[in-house]
Amino acid sequence: MQARVKALETLLTEKGLIDPAAIDAIVETYETKVGPRNGAHVVARAWSDADFADWLKRDATAAISSLGYTGRQGEHMRAVFNTAETHNLVVCTLCSCYPWSVLGLPPVWYKAPAYRSRAVIDPRGVLAEFGLTLPEEKKVRVWDSTAELRYLVIPERPEGTEGIDEQTLADLVSRDAMIGTAVAGKPESAT
């Protein structure tokens, strides 16, 4: 594939159709500027600010955009909140729809057949492969991202985090917790 992609880039550059420096700029954006820390900021804000959490429930696109996270594959956002009763899990069975603007580029497993095929039929089995075993009575809600809506899971706020500042809270939120294949981490003092 390396030779094939190189040939394609050479051809398109020669034809004046692409600018290799633009490709560098795209790659740099997704390697250094847009990633799961954006989403973790959204979650930490939702945990610490009830008005923001409410806004996120009503209009996630606007609430998330107020923090500066907009753009490609995040044009239309929906936030889904984990509760004591329900755990949310996001998948795109048809391709790899994923909220780039808050989570960056998706990991390989998210785009691969094993996850896309099984998340809708055997979510607990999938979660177990991530080391997450949910209580039997907890409901599992799977969101198949079949349109241009992009989902962000807001994990439950861990116990023992009262009075912790937003930045420290954000450090407890992994990418996987915002897809639903993990839950939020516990603060070090509580482990």
Partner 1 sequence: MNGPHDLGGQMGFGPVAPEKDEPYFHAGWEKRALGITLSCGAFGAWTIDESRHARENIPPADYLAASYYEIWIRGIDKLLERHGFATHEELLSGRKLQDGAVPKRVLKADMVPAVLAKGGPCDRPVEAAPLFVVGETVRTKNFNPATHTRLPRYARARTGVVEAVQGSFVFPDDNAHGKGENPQWLYTVVFDGAEIWGEDADPTLTVSIDAWESYLEPA
Contact status: 4 vs partner 1 (CB under 8 A) = yes
From residue 88 to residue 117, what is the string marking binding to partner 1 with x (rule CB under 8 A)? Answer: ---x-xxxx----x--xx-xxx-xxxxxxx
Backbone torsions φ then ψ of 14, nearest 5 degrees = -60, -35
Q: Is 92 a catalytic residue?
A: yes
Q: Could you give the count of Cα atoms lying within 13 Å of 168 in the half-sphere of its Cβ?
A: 11
Contact status: 84 vs partner 1 (CB under 8 A) = no
The residue among 30 and 190 lying less far from partner 1, judged by its C-beta, is: 30
Cβ pair 91, 119 in contact under 8 A: yes
Q: How far is CA 153 from CA 22, 157, 160, 178, 185, in A?
A: 32, 12, 21, 4, 14
The residue among 31 and 49 lying less far from partner 1, judged by its C-beta, is: 31
Stretch near partner 1 under the rule CB under 8 A, chosen from 40-48, 122-130, 155-163, 165-173: 122-130
- Minimum distance from CB of 48 to partner 1 (Å)? 26
Binding to partner 1 (CB under 8 A): which residues in 123-152? Answer: 123-124, 126, 129-130, 136-149
Question: How deeply is 102 buried, as exposed, middle or buried, from its count of CB atoms within 10 A (0-12, 13-18, 19+)?
Answer: buried
Q: Is 66 a catalytic residue?
A: no
- Minimum distance from CB of 10 to partner 1 (Å)? 5
Position among 49, 58, 71, 83 found at the interface with partner 1 (CB under 8 A): 71
Q: Is 189 a catalytic residue?
A: no
Which residues, 6+ apart, have CB-to-CB distance to 173 below 8 Å? 36, 39, 40, 43, 44, 155, 184, 185
Contact status: 25 vs partner 1 (CB under 8 A) = yes
Cβ pair 103, 141 in contact under 8 A: no
Give CA 103 to chain center in angstroms: 4
Instruction: Name the residues annotated as catalytic.
Output: 92, 95-97
